[in-house]
Structure 1
Amino acid sequence: MKSLLEAGAHFGHQTRRWDPRMKPFIFTQRNGIHIIDLQQTVRRLEEASEWVADTVSKGGTILFVGTKKQAQETIEAEASRCGMPYVNSRWLGGTLTNFTTIQGRIDHLVRLEDALARGEYVRMPKKDVLKIEEEIERLNHHFGGIKEMTKLPSALYIVDPGMEYISVAEANRTGIPVVAMADTNCNPNLLDYPIPSNDDAIRAVRLVTARIADAVIEGNQRREYGGDGEEFEFGEGQTSYSASPDEPVPGTEEEAPAATPATTEVQA
């Protein structure tokens, strides 16, 4: 819990921006800011992590999603570390609900890359080769993180489900479970495993996302060795905390205004 506290995971949004459905996860308020109950954060994070490890141990895939500035780098780094697909630039409408079309675009990308690697374009005019390279770059920007995802994921891990509301809606529609960092302005009822936490502080995003990635690695170990794998301990034994009225509130240099949600419909 100490690491969560130091990362600022307990700072929610301004009280006027809250979603009342997050009330069970709120400890108190200070200076117009809701303070998240970190005891529940630890418990919910461990529950989610165990479920993720169990899912992966059975061959499941977790799609990491986080397109806001504070999450992009962490999502790519942690998903890559544990060998899972990710979306960190823009959620394309239909990624889950129209996966056949998505897969078609990914297959097209792979064919272009393979042809380029084999030197099939060496006899083409340089201008045409440049266009192909630009198309590969554009497709990788949209699909690079899910290029190896050949089927729908077993679950989504999301940073800021409020901003990623389209991915949440698609997951709900397709029956795919959602694990997510839920700030005080989120609707936890749309999530299967809500993890109450500040989803704007970069350090908090890193901490929680790394724990989920550790759970994926643990699940892979279980599948590979047929056992329980390595035990991952979280926190440093702290069981309670108090928020001082003088504590700093969100707005440090680590935090940035949330970007406007955006989506792009896939063009076949």
Structure 2
Amino acid sequence: MKPINCATTTAVRALSAAPRQAARFSTTATAASGPSYSQKPGESKADAWARNMGEVREWRRRQATTEDQVSLYLPPGVEAPRAKASPREASISTLLAAGAALGHKKSIMHPAYLPFVYGNRAGLNIIDLDQTLSILRRCASVVRDVVKDDGVVLFVSKQRNATLQIKARMGDNGFVAASWMPGLLTNAETYFGIDPIMKGSYLPDLVIFSSPANNIGAIRECTMRKVPTMGIVDSNMDPRIVTYAIPANAASVRTAELVIGTLSLAGQEGRRLRLREEEKASLRKTRDLEWRRNLKGGKRDEAE
């Protein structure tokens, strides 16, 4: 039996106190209540088919905007999560407040996701936030080291609020794409020309997805070009589809903002370390040149 953790136990108690509010986080709850075929009395099959298709289109339109409209349920006494000054300051309480512990229905859980599940409550999988926090910190270290080595990190996310500050924090080491253009890596010559292809400068060093389930084609292209990937993986997905999987609620806007904000802050820290090292190397080179110049001047004086 898994030992009980206080923070995760708090999450379970919060969910048990408000199971209806918790169910709103799961997109499967909406999917289960989606439209089904029906025929009203006196209605022809053609009219029933047209009406049902209209209902399906409207339901799909609402599903497409669910990620931007999901409200955040905060347990009593818990404040909304805010951007932290450093990735090291991320805690289980901030993940809990962002709704990161809420997964999908137990019946559609992917078997490979079982190690990341703490338990079940109100028909939903409860994600183990102890593992989420440790994995998030490791992923932040990866982003920091990539940027520290002057690598390029590409964020693929439709969450505009989560990606607003990436460019300001990471400069030329961070780029944002709201959607992935098919063939961006596998047919790069069409987009960039032959020169970047020959130099290999069109390939990012790391690609981060806020919703890997909606970017399977992009992940496949990254795999073909041997570009590591990172993303928020929910309980209905195979965590092995990305190189670095962060187990959390992929349907929560607050969770995406918290994770992407933490990773961008890690990139900012890596960029700051690289600039500091470059400044020290430049200062060291200047001192070395000055020392060599003084040494040559001293030898010339002795010769005279």
Structure 2 residues not aligned, in runs of 5+? 1-91, 279-304
Give TM-score scaled by structure 2 length.
0.56
Deviation at 1:76, TM superposition (A): 4.4
Whole-angstrom distance in 2 between the partners of 1:79 and 1:31: 40
Q: Percent identity at matched positions?
A: 30
Instruction: Say whether the 8 Å CA contact 2:232–2:248 is kept in structure 1.
Output: yes
Instruction: Say whether the 8 Å CA contact 1:157–1:180 is kept in structure 2.
Output: yes
1:222-237 to 2 correspondences below 5 Å: 222-226=273-277
Partner of 1:93 in structure 2?
182
Give the counterpart letter for 2:112 in structure 1: R
Instruction: Say whether the 8 Å CA contact 2:147–2:270 is kept in structure 1.
Output: yes
1:75 aligns with 2:163: yes
Partner of 1:198 in structure 2?
249
1:218-245 per-position Cα deviation (integer Å, ceiling 9, x unaligned):
1101111129xxxxxxxxxxxxxxxxxx
Structure 1 residues not aligned, in runs of 5+? 108-148, 228-268
1:170 aligns with 2:221: yes
Q: Secondary structure at the residue paired with 2:214? A: coil
1:70-121 per-position Cα deviation (integer Å, ceiling 9, x unaligned):
x244234435543311111x311011222222225xx9xxxxxxxxxxxxxx
Instruction: Say whether the 8 Å CA contact 1:103–1:150 is kept in structure 2.
Output: no
Deviation at 1:154, TM superposition (A): 0.1
Q: Name the larger-Rg structure.
A: 2
Q: Secondary structure at the residue paired with 1:93? A: coil
Give the counterpart letter for 1:87 in structure 2: A
Give TM-score scaled by structure 1 length.
0.63
Instruction: Say whether the 8 Å CA contact 2:169–2:265 is kept in structure 1.
Output: no
Q: Secondary structure at the residue paired with 2:260? A: helix
1:185 aligns with 2:236: yes
Partner of 2:26 in structure 1?
none
Give the counterpart letter for 1:85 in structure 2: F
Give the counterpart letter for 1:37 in structure 2: D
1:102 aligns with 2:191: yes
Whole-angstrom distance in 2 between the partners of 1:86 and 1:102: 17
Q: Secondary structure at the residue paired with 2:162? A: helix
Deviation at 1:209, TM superposition (A): 0.5
Larger RCO, structures 1/2 (Cα 8 Å, 6+ apart): 1
Taking a change above 3 Å as real, the CA distance of residues 158 and 150 of structure 1, as seen in their structure-2 partners, is: same
1:198-225 per-position Cα deviation (integer Å, ceiling 9, x unaligned):
1111111110100000111011011111
1:241-260 to 2 correspondences below 5 Å: none
Taking a change above 3 Å as real, the CA distance of residues 193 and 42 of structure 1, as seen in their structure-2 partners, is: same
Q: Secondary structure at the residue paired with 1:86? A: strand
Whole-angstrom distance in 1 between the partners of 2:162 and 2:217: 21
Q: Secondary structure at the residue paired with 1:223? A: helix
1:28 aligns with 2:28: no
Please, which of 150, 172, 175 is the counterpart of residue 59 of structure 1? 150
Give the counterpart letter for 2:102 in structure 1: F
Give the counterpart letter for 1:86 in structure 2: V
Whole-angstrom distance in 1 between the partners of 2:168 and 2:276: 22
Instruction: Say whether the 8 Å CA contact 1:64–1:79 is kept in structure 2.
Output: no
1:132-170 per-position Cα deviation (integer Å, ceiling 9, x unaligned):
xxxxxxxxxxxxxxxxx9521001011121111111111
Across the aligned residues of Structure 1 and Structure 2, the Cα RMSD in angstroms comes to 2.0
